[in-house]
Structure 1
């Protein structure tokens, strides 16, 4: 049964009736002549150090940062694009399918530099959208409550844990609710395209009463506290940050395949300061910017043991980057989305 968690905290997403900004923070001098406006789904606790590193190289500039849930940020950006609001100077989202749609709807300004041109094709589209991070979708588990022999290394292992009629994992596996989380929808849709196990996994999660909720922080905290034994398809950057602070949290990059997300940055067509936004983008793609992103775990090595995950190091062939291409727009097609959510509801019937 679908259980929506009561606590919507920190880096998670909210699902109110009206658009709701989660956090706002300003960086740099209060009297700066130029204030760069950034709207993002990234937790300010993670992204704040990156902004400070940028401003150290750009004296006289200030940044006003707004944290949003992915669905609300998409709706607001669409409104701004239609002339119904004041556009931000830069928009950054983990809901990359929504960002591709915004670019396709002519909401983005073009930009090209040495740094953007050096990106792989999978991380840029039409010189209007760029991938700035490298984050896996992982399985999180409670080290104390899940025996080493039961830690799932693949989706097949997870299915084996859920198969017994009296499995102790019933009601104690969590994942994102794809209706309230744009990121959760993206990961589930990518799984459906990638894995032969998707249908069986959805059936098993639904049959065993898996918990669907919107928020990375709530899911990870639930695993640490033992309310959940496992969580599936959790964004690895948040999981790694939590694991560094809490030894109860274990992380696995599935070795059948691991989805890899690059958060997407767009400079809106109506940005008041596109030049400064382009400077910020170039910083994020430069060596100092990559180092700043790595320090806050938004760029993961993935294939080396230094990545901090459990088990053998992942091979490059197991990585499945989610490419910034028009193919992602299929995920937002009204009929395709309705059909996909209907499949989800059959697996997770509402109480």
Structure 2
């Protein structure tokens, strides 16, 4: 049965940061940026911005997506210090915050260039392009699946890779994992067969991108499903053990979302950071740090297999409490039994 690592452990009563870094002049006022992006990936982008802002510093706080949403909701209600800018991969929660009146508008030449699916109400801005991919251990799976149909066939009883060890996100612990799984359920006629195959093969669910990729590199799992491509690409540049597959049947494409909270102390500086990330210079830095993909065979502009996750009110469906409860119940019912930790 699927091992949902820590999925039934209650969330912490107080939201907590995973890391905090201050960069820039020690005596300069600090822009507070809170995000889900790993600090080592995002800090080069922030440093490049500060090179254009010599009188500004940045305090970057790295958060888990669920904790970030909780802290932003608390700040919106006046119960905690607001950030100046939020950047999250759990884009459905960002749209929810904006819909609930927790964001302020920012309009510029750069934001005006964003396509409709990457801009909502001049409050939510898509700043990256990151595919959901499969990460495969080359030695264990030399015949890597290129579609979900291939993966399902491999996992069938008597299939070529019936004993394939698969891992994916724990959708209760990871806001991004929940979003990808929910969007899969809307996009794919394969969704029911896929999760049944995961159940049958004893797949594992765990917290985050780094854990999934590390597990494949270390040989604990043969394949990780729905991993955020930016992290996968960064690790593949360092490791020959893994291959990245953007599924040919369809590939979900995420635009990491930024917004300026209603209570931001420095909204003008936050707006300049948004504009920098949307500028040619900023996008070059984002690309260099794998936040815009360079995965072979993945043509972002014209690939018909790309399924963008739009920054629109459609995402409110994923944050509706009743729908979320039903979806997680479906997930648990599909994978019944003891939810003990996996390997």
The alignment partner of 2:34 has SS state of strand
Q: Contact 2:23–2:58 (CA<8 Å) still a contact in 1?
A: yes
1:162-221 per-residue CA deviation (whole Å, 9 max, x = no partner) reads 112576554710000111100000001111111000011011111211001111111101
Q: CA deviation at 1:5?
A: 4.9
**Scaled by the length of structure 2, what TM-score is found?**
0.94
Q: Which of 77, 83, 89 is 1:88 aligned to?
A: 83
CA contact (8 A) 1:207 1:347 kept: no
How many residue pairs match? The answer is 334
Cα distance in 1 for partners of 2:137, 2:216 equals 6
1:130-176, Cα deviation, whole Å (9 max, x unpaired): 000000000110011112xx311000000011112576554710000
Unpaired segments ≥5 residues, structure 2: none
| 1:76 paired to 2:71 | yes
- Unaligned runs of 5+ residues in structure 1 are 7-13, 301-306
What is the CA–CA distance in structure 2 between the aligned matches of 1:160 and 1:287, rounded to whole Å? 43
1:133 aligns with 2:112: no
> Partners of 1:128 and 1:313 in 2: how far apart?
28
- 1:344 has 2:331 as partner: yes
Work out which of the residue numbers 69, 93, 97 in structure 2 matches 1:98: 93
Query: What TM-score results when the alignment is normalised by the length of structure 1?
Result: 0.92
SS in structure 1 of the partner of residue 327 of structure 2 = helix
Q: Which residues in structure 2 correspond to 1:8-157 (within 5 Å)?
A: 16-32=12-28, 34-147=29-142, 150-157=143-150
Q: Which range is displaced more, 178-187 or 161-170? A: 161-170
Could you say what the CA RMSD is over the residues aligned between the two structures, in angstroms? 1.7
Task: State the alpha-carbon separation in 1 of the partners of residues 63 and 110 from structure 2.
Answer: 27
Match status 1:236 vs 2:229? yes
In structure 1, the partner of 2:318 is 331
* DSSP 3-state at the match of 2:253: strand
- For the pair 1:2 / 2:7, whether they are aligned, the reply is no
Equivalent in 255, 258, 261 of residue 262 of structure 1 = 255
Q: Secondary structure at the match of 1:234?
A: strand
Conserved? CA contact 1:213–1:219, under 8 Å: yes
1:190 to 2:186 alignment: no
SS in 1 for 2:310: coil
Structure 2 vs 1, CA of residues 59 and 257 (structure 1 numbering), >3 Å: closer, same or farther? Answer: same
Partner of 1:214: 207
